[in-house]
Structure 1
Amino acid sequence: MGMSKFVAYVGTYTHENSIGIHVYDVDPNTGIFTERGVEPINNASDLDVSRDGKFLYSIEDEGVASFSIDKNGDLKKINQANIGGMRGCCVTCDSKRRYLFVGGFHDGRVTMMKLNEDGSIEGVADGIFHQGVAISSHDRRLDHPKVSSVRLTPDEKFLLAADYGLNQVKVYELDYENGKMRLCDNIHTNLDSCPRAQKFSADGRFLYILGELTNEIEVYAYSLKDGKPDFEQIQAIPSLDNANLSDLSSELVISDDGKYVYVSIDGFHGVSWFARDEKTGLLTHKGQEPTSGYFPKSMAVLPGGKYIVMLNHDSDEMRTFIVDHKTETILMMNFPIKINKPNSIRIVEIP
């Protein structure tokens, strides 16, 4: 990987023994993580790093918090702000650091928060509570709005708020000048899917939505038609062979080269992976393996694509695996990294 330096930020739940966001030096050639410190914060369940790599934003019990990232990759807290609702679940910011977007799992609220030039959070600009109930065949999870992830479209004209409880992804048109969101579309995911995670391909042409309960990846072609977003489902593929209701697909990531998609699966205690056709966006299942731990909530592909790291939430550890796509296998490497209740990871290149 040349002379590049990489740092990983791992958010944890702090109701037991952890105290916040763990900071690691990462060697993508060996998959080795070396801890350098912990930044105190309450229940950093989700993180996002600004596109310029200067700031990190985190969910916390008090709302959201901002941190500066120095030239070595260390964190320093700037401020925190209330989000105007119950505790948040997920967070993302736009590439120009104008606004921070927060999804609330407990109250079904999407919040748009103004950011200042110095990286600090000014406060709430707009907030919308989702309403309604889902059509469900059997499951109690689909009983009231629960925003499980927020994601900007690649052109950043729209915000996608996946609602686990309503079984849909709401699409908001963004007014950056006035700090407003306007509902303009709904993506109705498959019956009882409980959309959990969503990712766009790097070229912006395809959207991948992971259903927790159906254990499916729904693939959508994305385009603009007369300035309006258009999503067409082109595939729905099981995230796991012989899946059942207790498997519960959790996180979806795409490799930097766009050739592979990985899914962490709670109840299976493992990972499943797919080859991705870059022209058509379609997926082909290639393998699945347990990850020697319990309930992997999140994961990441290390730069270069040689390794993946799994956050085994309930067994309080991270584990790295080397990926061999020729033999379609993964092999655990290095010693497990002990960390209490890891839940979110971001790997950043430090110039």
Structure 2
Amino acid sequence: MTENPSRRTILGALAAVPVLAGASGAVPSRDLVHIGTWKGQNVHGAWFDPVRGDLTPIGPVGVADADWSVPHPTLPILYVATLEEDGVVYTFRVDRQTGTLTKTGEVATGGAGMGGGGVSFIAVDRPSSTLLVANFEAGLTAALPISRTGVLGPPTSVAQDTGSGPNPRQNGPHPHHVAVDPTGRFVLVADFGADQVFVHPFHRATRTLSVGGSYRTAPGSGPRRVAFHPDGRTVYLLNELTADLQTLRWHPEGGLTHRQTLPTNAPDHTGTTSASDLAVAGRFVYTGNRGENSLVVHAIDPRTHLLRPIQRVPCAGVTPWSFSVHPNGHWLLVANEASNTVNVFGIDRATGRLTDTGRSIPVPNPDSITFCRR
């Protein structure tokens, strides 16, 4: 299933990408991209042309050991997860003309003395104006209130996970990812250390997380990413240590049941096993595999929502730490951490297949990519 597309294939795929224009016929302006760097000291910036797929580097635009970032839904504000002690999240004001970040605040989420206090993921729940924080080292998920001006307040609620796994890296609970269910009543937490997906009841009016049930994965699997199918009845789970992808049924009362498990490793895989990222885009699911330096595409059955692998391609670098699908659905940008590049892939929206455009920019140890549309 591994593919190395020819030059003709690449040019054909790029030609198939439509010119995106508004009602006036004007081509949209470039999008601002912010790139975190693993254990680095700077957030880097770039401009992305959503029509041609061109990526132009800006360079360092803000100071932070950024592990993940997310933009405010409407304001020129970027929230940045850091690896700092006490699980600190920074707030930056964004200059949309230059990409420059100006720090305006910071909030601690807990974890002092926990060996780094690193925050692994943050997400905005827009209906409740809440920033949800997965504090990896402290083993907790925190809810931070967002004011009308975008200012973060201290946690209104914290849900502490419990458990551990057989791998030495699983010495306690380590939340790696959070996702809000379509009703807004639950927050799902993929906990790498506990080998569980915790289901925390969430009260949007008070921004309160409660301790709920969980879905247990195989010992030593290391849940890393979780994502809902658009219909809200199916959940996809990516496990890092076993590099497998699961299809789960979501029950509205807050339960998960297993339906399918597929490997993201090739049949002849040897050596390190490590899955990295997961995204649902249209009728397809995309995953990253760091052990094989590959991207794997799965088609979603329109009736059952079960998955079928359709493509495996090299990631155009080394160690695909994460990736982001552009909002228009035509592009996928990969943070290849060990090769110090961000690489651009085209997406055929009809078939879901990826094509390496050959375009990239140098960034030291990139680990996350955030689109900030102007």
Shared fold, TM over 0.5: yes
Q: 2:145 aligns with which of 114, 138, 146?
A: 114
Counterparts of 1:268-279 in structure 2, within 5 Å, are: 268-279=292-303
Offset from partner CA, 1:174-200 (integer Å, 9 cap, x none)? 133434211122011234321011111
Q: Does 1:145 align with 2:173?
A: yes
- Deviation (angstroms), 1:36: 3.6
- Deviation (angstroms), 1:209: 0.6
Q: Is the 8 A contact 2:329 2:349 kept in 1?
A: no
Q: 1:332 aligns with which of 331, 338, 356?
A: 356
Q: 1:146 to 1:279 in 2, by over 3 A?
A: same
Report how many aligned residue pairs link the two structures: 339
Distance 1:49 1:260 in 2: 25
Q: 1:277 to 1:201 in 2, by over 3 A?
A: same
| Greater Cα shift, 1-10 or 66-75 | 66-75
Q: Is the 8 A contact 1:22 1:37 kept in 2?
A: yes
Partner of 1:259: 283
Q: Does 1:83 align with 2:118?
A: no
Distance 1:128 1:98 in 2: 18
Q: Does 1:44 align with 2:75?
A: no
Q: 1:132 to 1:140 in 2, by over 3 A?
A: same
Distance 1:319 1:160 in 2: 30
- Deviation (angstroms), 1:329: 6.0
Q: Is the 8 A contact 1:43 1:61 kept in 2?
A: yes
| Greater Cα shift, 329-338 or 27-36 | 329-338
Q: Is the 8 A contact 2:242 2:273 kept in 1?
A: no
Partner of 2:338: 314
Q: Is the 8 A contact 1:13 1:42 kept in 2?
A: no
Q: 1:282 aligns with which of 271, 295, 306?
A: 306
Distance 2:263 2:365 in 1: 28
- Deviation (angstroms), 1:249: 0.6
Gaps of 5+ in 1: none
Offset from partner CA, 1:3-33 (integer Å, 9 cap, x none)? 3343222112353xxx422222212232211
Q: Is the 8 A contact 1:50 1:97 kept in 2?
A: no
Partner of 1:105: 136
Q: 2:274 aligns with which of 231, 244, 248?
A: 248
| Greater Cα shift, 28-37 or 161-170 | 28-37
Q: Is the 8 A contact 1:50 1:94 kept in 2?
A: no
- Deviation (angstroms), 1:343: 0.6
Q: 1:328 to 1:221 in 2, by over 3 A?
A: closer
Offset from partner CA, 1:113-149 (integer Å, 9 cap, x none)? 2222111111122223322334x4xx33333211111
| Greater Cα shift, 1-10 or 106-115 | 1-10
Q: 1:252 to 1:164 in 2, by over 3 A?
A: same
Partner of 2:3: none
Distance 1:36 1:56 in 2: 17
Q: Does 1:155 align with 2:177?
A: no
Q: Per the alignment, in what secondary structure is the counterpart of residue 126 of structure 2?
A: coil
- Deviation (angstroms), 1:171: 1.0
Q: CA RMSD in A?
A: 2.4
Partner of 1:237: 262
Q: Does 1:24 align with 2:46?
A: yes
Q: Is the 8 A contact 2:55 2:359 kept in 1?
A: no
Q: 1:59 aligns with which of 68, 75, 81?
A: 81
Partner of 2:368: 344
Distance 1:97 1:73 in 2: 30
Percent of aligned positions with the same letter in both sequences? 24
Distance 2:36 2:95 in 1: 18
Offset from partner CA, 1:50-98 (integer Å, 9 cap, x none)? 3336432111244001234466584443311111222311111211352
Q: From the two aligned structures, give the one with the greater strand fraction.
A: 1
Q: 1:214 aligns with which of 233, 242, 255?
A: 242
